[in-house]
Amino acid sequence: MAASQPDLSGGDLAMKREQIKRGTPFKFLVPLIYAPVLPLIRIGLRRNPVLRDRLFTAVLAGAFLHGSYLVSDLYDSESK
């Protein structure tokens, strides 16, 4: 017996091609920006620990908020 092939109508195939052509959305590339910033904050602001800790905490909180936004957006789009 042959494995069943998914039925791709013309609209589904066109939508998949459009998604491939668009590329990666910017919201998924943001961690590539703030991930290297975290160690640079710790190294660069060694002499000012108050500013270092506040800035590090703010960037880390922003990273967690961004991650939770992505997860909630992902689950929201899957439920539709």
Task: Kindly tell me the burial class for residue 10, based on how many C-beta atoms sit within 10 Å of its own C-beta (0-12, 13-18, 19 or more).
Answer: exposed
Q: What is the pLDDT of residues 40-73, one digit of tens each?
A: 999 999 999 999 999 999 999 999 999 998 888 7
CA distance 72 to 77: 9
pLDDT, residue 71, reads: 87
Domain ranges of the chain: 25-79
pLDDT, residue 25, reads: 81
Per DSSP, helices labelled H in 1-80 are 10-22, 31-44, 49-79
* Token output for 52: 């270092």
pLDDT, residue 44, reads: 95
Q: What is the average per-residue pLDDT within 10-35?
A: 73
pLDDT, residue 42, reads: 95
Instruction: State the pLDDT confidence band at 18, using cuts at 50, 70 and 90.
Output: low
The answer to whether 51 and 45 are in contact (CB under 8 A) is yes
